[in-house]
Amino acid sequence: MCVFWFVLTTCLTATAQTPKPNARWQTDYWTAKWIMHPTAPGRQYGIYHFRKTFSLPQKPGRFVVHVSADNRYRLFINGRPVAHGPARSDTQHWNYETLDLAPYLQTGNNTLAAQVWYLGESAPFAQMSYQAGFIVQGDGEAEKVVNTDNTWKVLQNAAYSPIKNDNAKLRTYIVVGDGDRVDAAQYPWGWEQSNFNDSSWPAARTLWFPAKPRGLGTDGNWNLVPRTIPMMAEATQRLSAVRRAEYGQMNDDFLKGKAPVTVPARTRAVFLLDQGHLTNAYPELTVSRGKGAVITLGYAEALVDSKGQKGNRNEVEGRRLVGFEDQFVADGGNKRMFRPLWFRTYRYLQLTVETAREPVVLEDLTGQFTGYPFAQKAVFASDEKSLVDIWNVGWRTAQLCAGETYYDCPYYEQLQYTGDTRIQAMISLYVSGDDRLMRKAIMDYDHSRFSDGLTQSRYPSADFQVIPTFSLFWVNMIHDYWMHRQDDAFIKPLLRGMEGVLNWHEQRLEKTGLNGPLEWWNFVDWSKWEAPGEVAGGVPVGARKGGSSILTLLQAYTFQRAADLLAHYGQNERAEHYRTLARQQTKAVYKQCWDAGRGLIADTPEKNRFSQHANILAVLTDAIPVAQQPALLQKVMTEPSLTQATFYFKYYLFQAMKKAGLGDQLIPQLKPWFDMLAMGLTTFAENPEPTRSDCHAWSASPVYEFLSTICGINPAEPGFRSVRIEPYLGDLQLAEGKIPHPAGDIAVRLEKVANGGLKANIVLPAKTTGTLRWKGKTVALKEGSQELTL
């Protein structure tokens, strides 16, 4: 599995490179125009093809353009796909891509073409928009020949129509937009090629408002900002096995591209195909002949039995595929290729082929994997070989939940939720060292702030949603970034928005020191809470009326970290204010919610409900004395009567264990993850069975813990300027790990020796110091390689 994912993220299809652009396009009005079809409505579903043919006296060494569209575009040069975008955002921060097209151009005529789509009501919730439009701005004098204006040609593609894949059809919450139905008989095949005849296409219409970077002009429309993340990775994948063939013949040679399959006339054949693991990919199905044949592509994370249950994900017998669908209607032509507008998530892909008067030939089926181009730079190994599977599946989970934003889950929502993102970002930092998507996420949430002072819970999102606890986790994300990166210029402008969040929570504290009534959706975890009146779920008692120890401690937890940030930036009075608030809250929780008889913090002062969550947070905030914390956590981990934390909140359990010196018990706590592997999952799920989503990055947290807890690698001060290494090996005899650090790699090799000692080989980057702590003993570390025995 490690080899597969390394190849996947490094063997990428060619895309246009991002060069250094002319800075004027970030400050001046653009000379190119936003363009659109001359008669089509701008805010209704439509797929458009734009073309511009131009001549060059010689092949250029540099040909830089800036490109954007609403909703999205896919760009071609002389028939070759070179880029897609724009990176998802909101209209006040609308991304454009800067591309050097020179490698794809030639002397003489060249054709720049783009497929642009605006999905209207069929769009996913993660897609924000203004109206359909497309723009290309040449960077300099040589490139202005391709500026969008009415010399461009455009066609609305009537072949496309949406297929509903909604809550009613799939009987669950799914908001990734509609599927694609393509009627090949109406498709302008070859439209992107240089030799295509576009003489009958109308001229594009220029939109009346000027194109401009953010901060200029009076009209909202699109405020353009440069893309801050790299282009997505792409790599060709092939499905691994034919698991079932009904009324047709197909074997694995078809999946290898070696044996086309013919489905006879007037036949309905169904082929169930298995990728072998979950993936995000653009399926590309090539067919010949078969005029009028209808081919439905269905996608699923897992099959279901007669009761709708998933069970073991490897099992096929007695199970069926219920899932998201696309459809292609053949026109009888040769080598017609169907590719949906957006990627699909699947382990199982089912082809349902219904032919008409002539047979259809299935020539080939591949997938073009897509995702954020994280490179795995971290290493983890130990003498417990079963941990390798946790690492590999966890990292795959994190990869599939990262694209132009972080995704909570790729199949059902593709929305960037703060609670999920905080955990995902830490995995990204530790495994890849790439902080660009984390920075973008932090800024996305900053852009989402509204009049209450809170951030939205998920962003970008066309559907407004607020989870006040997630606003707190945005503050904690800023703190996380501050601890791991030296980047004052990025962090300081965020402090004002951060204080808006803190103020909202402060204003809702009661004189008792506990939270008062809280509006919106105060989600904490998908646990089995018994909170009357809460419709959405995930909310503990004491949100609506006040008095929740959990919500109070989440506030205190955040006030403590916010105080550290404010003090670092010289706001000592504000820092002390929040430290005082946090102390008052933790004392109030202990006074009103501590049950001496049970030795636990109760969820409310009534002391009739108890959860892992309240006690985990009591440890993280020091609401109970430090000396009592190990015993409390032991009880939390072993008492089944408590409301249990699900996979999401286990992240905070792991942090509490590390804080209380119980990190040696991490591996026994991973039983739910081993159970998922035994159930055939190839990514980690949203919740314990039965679960909706089989891929949720908050469940990939063990990947981070292997490096942060077992190997013990953590920042000792802001900016990761120094390192604290405190390993917890548990029953392991040997562990080694490496993480990327801004100054280089941190590498450790840890081996137990006789009498409870530790032999450690540690490598720190240049100009980086730290400490190694083992069972109460601490030694200093210096830059470079060092071998120590404690």
Q: Please compute the mean of the pLDDT values over residues 321-335 and round it to a whole number.
A: 97
630-638 average pLDDT score: 96
Answer yes or no: is pLDDT of 638 > 60: yes
Mean pLDDT of the 111-135 span: 98
Token pair 């905080």 in the structure block, residue: 422
Tokens of 145: 């020949």
46-56 and 153-156 strand pairing: antiparallel
Domain coordinates of the chain in residue numbers?
A: 17-230, 234-371, 734-789
Over range 237-255, report the average pLDDT: 95
Fold of 234-371: Jelly Rolls (2.60.120)
Q: What confidence score (pLDDT) does residue 754 get? A: 85
- The domain defined by 17-230 folds into Jelly Rolls (2.60.120)
Mean per-residue pLDDT for 615-643? Answer: 97
Chain segment 698-756, per-residue pLDDT in tens: 999 999 999 999 999 999 999 999 999 999 999 999 999 999 999 999 999 999 998 88
pLDDT > 80? residue 559 = yes
d(CA 370, CA 533): 42
Helix %, strand %, coil % for the chain, to 5? 30, 30, 45
Helix axes 572-593, 495-506, angle to 10 degrees: 30
Spatial neighbors of 157 by CB under 8 A, at least 6 apart, are: 47, 48, 49, 186, 187, 188
More confident residue, 531 or 403: 403
What is the DSSP-derived secondary structure letter of residue 9? T
Candidate from 305-309, 405-409, 534-538 with smallest mean pLDDT: 534-538
Is residue 723 within 8 A of residue 769, CB to CB? The reply is yes
Confidence of residue 219 (pLDDT cuts 50, 70, 90): confident
Q: Residue 16's pLDDT is what? A: 67
Residue for token digits 């591949």?
A: 366
Looking at residue 3, its pLDDT comes to 33
The answer to whether the CB of 179 falls within 8 A of the CB of 324 is: yes
- Report, as an integer, the average pLDDT of 393-414: 98
Comparison of pLDDT for 261 and 8, the residue scoring more: 261
pLDDT > 60? residue 1 = no
Question: Is pLDDT of 14 > 50?
Answer: no
Per-residue pLDDT tens over the stretch 660-714: 999 999 999 999 999 999 999 999 999 999 999 999 999 999 999 999 999 999 9
The answer to whether residues 701 and 353 touch, using CB atoms and an 8 Å cutoff, is no
Burial class (CB in 10 A: 0-12, 13-18, 19+), 398: buried
Query: How far apart, in whole angstroms, are the C-alpha atoms of residue 279 and residue 76?
Result: 25
3-state secondary structure of 670: helix
Mean pLDDT of 87-103: 97
Q: In this model, does residue 2 exceed pLDDT 50?
A: no
pLDDT of residue 22: 80
Residue 9 binned pLDDT confidence (cut-offs 50, 70, 90): very low
Q: In this prediction, what percent of the chain has a pLDDT beyond 70?
A: 98
Q: Cβ distance 767 to 720 under 8 Å?
A: no
Which pTM was predicted? 0.96
> What percentage of the chain carries pLDDT values higher than 90?
94
Q: Distance from CA of residue 439 to its chain's centroid?
A: 13
Q: How confident is the model at residue 4 (pLDDT cuts 50, 70, 90)?
A: very low
Q: Round the average pLDDT of the chain to a whole number and report it.
A: 95
The SS3 assignment for 275 reads: strand
Q: What is the pLDDT of residues 579-604, one digit of tens each?
A: 999 999 999 999 999 999 999 999 99
Across the range 648-666, mean pLDDT stands at 97
